[in-house]
């Protein structure tokens, strides 16, 4: 007996085959397989209803005809009809056991999942902060969500390129270089370079606002930089290097490693081709000295132009982003590109994607699939965008240190006797994981409220709750003197008690949760699943003693513990969180 990894898609395939025999497939039948409410079964297929309604047939009769053709599933499932024509599937205990035995490691889970996007290549554009500035809390979301999306895509078989598309080329460098040449504090630069760049930028900005001679001088610095002046380029390079080194400290804490960091400056020499091709294809036109693209079919973009070259001839965000798409298509030859960017840039991306589609069509190129993975704002507990008391952006660095401190208090309250170094090490993981998880656990398109007490807690849909479940399984094995890497599960019998069955069925739904999260590029589906799984585990652990004398029962309970551990750790890993053995 071999039950496939993704049971929902296995059912989908079987239902399609049955509907095909009935001639329903050509008429648009969709199986609509879903995870079911446990009182009805493990999965249900609702497709007969919509189909019967369209065809003016009796849905129950139709569903029965389908069921009559599902004989091949009868070994693994109890199949039943309910209500007006729902088809319910309940996995037989032996089938649950077989699934649990087969998927015994992250590698085997991945082998099961890896069919969905096998052979595809995706580039994920995330984090992408602007240099010469500190990363603030707004950059957290792109980094955290982006990393989870990279891991989900890779897990489903895609080859993933992680690209940090930094903003390293812009008008801010004029004022910054002007101030750098006159007011640099070398000691401050050595100690906290980003603080020093921010100070210099503000200084330059204020001076330029107060004195038009300074403004002109700053603009000249920018022109010199753009024309390749060696001195200005060297300063620019220094600023970028120091910025990237500071960003790296954050990435290290979040476990992020980019494959490439191709910022806006990389595309400097690639924008002319964009202008040329857009103009030659009749897509772009001159308007008040600028080069712009209108989209006549769009309600807003027919009058709101996409400015691809500024009237002073300089490139901008649009030109570099267009050149970036071309480079990703030609150089990386990607099938898809995901842009993990704030929803406030939705118009920019919509115009970008529309323009790229027409441009690629005109030039006979194949456009990669382009996805704006948008996200909402991080709010404070007052429901306003999260800021410091004096209205400044909260720096990511300070935020992560606070998370570690707060987690340290939590860990110390729980285990005051543990050695200080161990409490620190645990708190470092719990603190950062809590912040990451709070960001991932909610639908990314919504705003989310940043609330310390809720996120660093052992209760609720939190990282600590999941990490605690992982640590608990480890302690079961530790206390029984067993090696978690070689669980004694030989001779396990099939799940039998209600708690065992509920836990086992939840484990088999991992595949479905991963697929949902990957297809929609929404990690919160996986979070919800992991939280429910940890809940089932906790119910099971409270109801059924694991280390009992009866060998087949003990083996199957250890099997359930072990597979819970494997799925939780795999899930945490997919989200970009580090698990713990003790907590």
385: left (phi over 0), alpha (psi -120 to 50) or beta: beta
Q: Specify the stretch interacting with ligand ARG by CB under 6 A; choose among 113-121, 127-135, 450-458, 547-555.
A: 127-135
How far does Cα 307 stand from its chain's mean position?
A: 30
Distances (CA, A) of 556 to 93, 469, 507, 543, 544: 12, 18, 14, 15, 11
| Collapsed DSSP state (helix, strand, coil) of residue 17 | helix
Compare residues 236 and 339 and give the one whose CB is closer to ligand ARG.
339
d(CA 262, CA 127): 12
In whole angstroms, the minimum distance from the beta carbon of 168 to ligand ARG comes to 9
Compare residues 136 and 474 and give the one whose CB is closer to ligand ARG.
136
Beta bridge partners of 130: 167
In whole angstroms, the minimum distance from the beta carbon of 166 to ligand ARG comes to 7
Pick from 58, 88, 51: nearest CA to 73: 88
Q: Specify the stretch interacting with ligand ARG by CB under 6 A; choose among 126-134, 175-183, 399-407, 473-481.
A: 126-134
Q: Answer yes or no whether residue 316 interacts with ligand ARG by CB under 6 A.
A: no
Q: Answer yes or no whether residue 167 interacts with ligand ARG by CB under 6 A.
A: yes
Of the candidates 42, 76, 221, 321, which one interacts with ligand ARG according to CB under 6 A? 321
Q: Specify the stretch interacting with ligand ARG by CB under 6 A; choose among 121-129, 443-451, 460-468, 569-577.
A: 121-129
Q: How many of the chain's residues bind ligand ARG (CB under 6 A)?
A: 10
In whole angstroms, the minimum distance from the beta carbon of 179 to ligand ARG comes to 21
Q: Answer yes or no whether residue 493 interacts with ligand ARG by CB under 6 A.
A: no
Q: Specify the stretch interacting with ligand ARG by CB under 6 A; choose among 107-115, 124-132, 254-262, 379-387.
A: 124-132
d(CA 444, CA 448): 8
Q: Answer yes or no whether residue 341 interacts with ligand ARG by CB under 6 A.
A: yes
Compare residues 172 and 518 and give the one whose CB is closer to ligand ARG.
172
Q: Beta strands 336-342 and 121-125: pairing type? A: parallel
Q: Specify the stretch interacting with ligand ARG by CB under 6 A; choose among 123-131, 207-215, 292-300, 565-573.
A: 123-131
Q: Answer yes or no whether residue 339 interacts with ligand ARG by CB under 6 A.
A: yes
Would you say 159 and 195 are in contact if contact means Cβ atoms under 8 Å apart?
Answer: no
In whole angstroms, the minimum distance from the beta carbon of 345 to ligand ARG comes to 7
Residues with Cβ within 8 Å of 487's Cβ and at least 6 positions away in sequence, in order, are 477, 558, 559, 561, 562
Dihedral pair phi/psi, residue 469, rounded to 5°: -60, -40
d(CA 386, CA 250): 19
Joined tokens for residue 550? 């009866």
Would you say 246 and 148 are in contact if contact means Cβ atoms under 8 Å apart?
Answer: no
Of the candidates 57, 105, 111, 130, which one interacts with ligand ARG according to CB under 6 A? 130
Binding site for ligand ARG (CB under 6 A): 125, 128-130, 165, 167, 321, 324, 339, 341
């Amino acid at each position: 007996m071999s039950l496939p990894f993704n049971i929902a898609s296995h059912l989908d395939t079987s239902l399609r085959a049955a509907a095909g025999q009935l001639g329903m497939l050509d008429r648009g039948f969709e199986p609509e397989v879903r995870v079911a409410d446990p009182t009805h079964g493990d999965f249900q297929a609702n497709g007969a209803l919509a189909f019967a309604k369209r065809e003016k047939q009796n849905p129950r009769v139709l569903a029965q005809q389908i069921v009559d053709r599902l004989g091949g599933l009868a070994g693994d499932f109890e199949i039943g009809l309910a209500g007006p024509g729902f088809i319910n599937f309940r996995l037989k205990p032996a089938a649950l056991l077989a699934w649990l035995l087969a998927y015994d490691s992250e590698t085997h889970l991945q082998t099961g999942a890896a069919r969905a996007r096998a052979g595809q290549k995706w580039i994920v554009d995330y984090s992408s902060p602007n240099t010469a500035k500190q990363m603030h809390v707004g950059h957290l979301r792109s980094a955290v969500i982006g990393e989870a999306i990279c891991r989900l895509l890779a897990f489903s078989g895609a080859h993933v390129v992680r690209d940090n598309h930094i903003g390293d080329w812009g008008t801010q460098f004029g004022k910054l270089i002007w101030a750098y040449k006159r007011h640099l504090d070398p000691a401050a630069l050595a100690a906290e370079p980003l603080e020093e760049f921010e100070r210099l930028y503000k200084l330059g900005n204020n001076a330029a606002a107060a004195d038009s001679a300074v403004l002109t001088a700053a603009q000249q610095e920018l022109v010199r930089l753009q024309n390749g002046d060696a001195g200005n380029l060297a300063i620019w390079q220094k600023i970028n290097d120091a910025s990237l080194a500071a960003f790296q400290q954050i990435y290290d804490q979040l476990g992020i490693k980019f494959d490439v960091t191709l910022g806006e400056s990389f595309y400097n020499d690639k924008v002319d081709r964009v202008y040329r091709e857009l103009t030659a294809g009749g897509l772009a036109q001159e308007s008040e000295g600028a080069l712009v693209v209108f989209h006549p079919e769009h309600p807003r973009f027919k009058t709101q132009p996409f400015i691809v070259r500024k009237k002073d001839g300089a490139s901008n965000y649009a030109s570099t982003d267009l050149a970036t798409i071309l480079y990703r298509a030609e150089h990386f030859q990607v099938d898809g590109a995901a842009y993990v960017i704030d929803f406030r840039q939705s118009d920019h991306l919509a115009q970008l994607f529309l323009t790229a589609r027409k441009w690629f069509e005109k030039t006979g190129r194949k456009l990669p699939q382009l996805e704006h993975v948008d996200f909402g704002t991080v709010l404070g507990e007052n429901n306003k965008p999260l800021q410091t008391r004096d209205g400044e952006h909260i720096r990511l660095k300070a935020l992560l240190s606070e998370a570690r401190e707060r987690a340290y208090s939590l860990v110390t309250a729980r285990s005051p006797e543990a050695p200080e170094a161990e409490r620190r090490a645990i708190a470092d993981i719990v603190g950062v994981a809590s912040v990451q998880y709070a960001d991932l656990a909610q639908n990314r398109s919504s705003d989310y409220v940043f609330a310390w007490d809720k996120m660093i807690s052992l209760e609720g849909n939190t990282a600590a709750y999941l990490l605690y479940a992982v640590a608990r399984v480890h302690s079961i094995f530790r206390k029984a003197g067993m090696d978690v890497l070689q669980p004694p599960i030989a001779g396990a019998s099939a799940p039998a008690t209600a708690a065992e069955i509920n836990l086992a069925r939840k484990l088999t739904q991992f595949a479905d949760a991963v697929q949902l999260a990957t297809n929609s590029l929404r990690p919160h589906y996986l979070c919800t699943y992991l939280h429910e799984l940890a809940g089932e585990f906790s119910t099971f652990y409270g109801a059924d003693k694991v280390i009992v004398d009866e060998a087949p029962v003990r083996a199957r309970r250890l099997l359930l513990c072990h597979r819970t551990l494997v799925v939780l750790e795999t899930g945490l890993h997919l989200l970009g969180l580090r698990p713990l053995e003790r907590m």
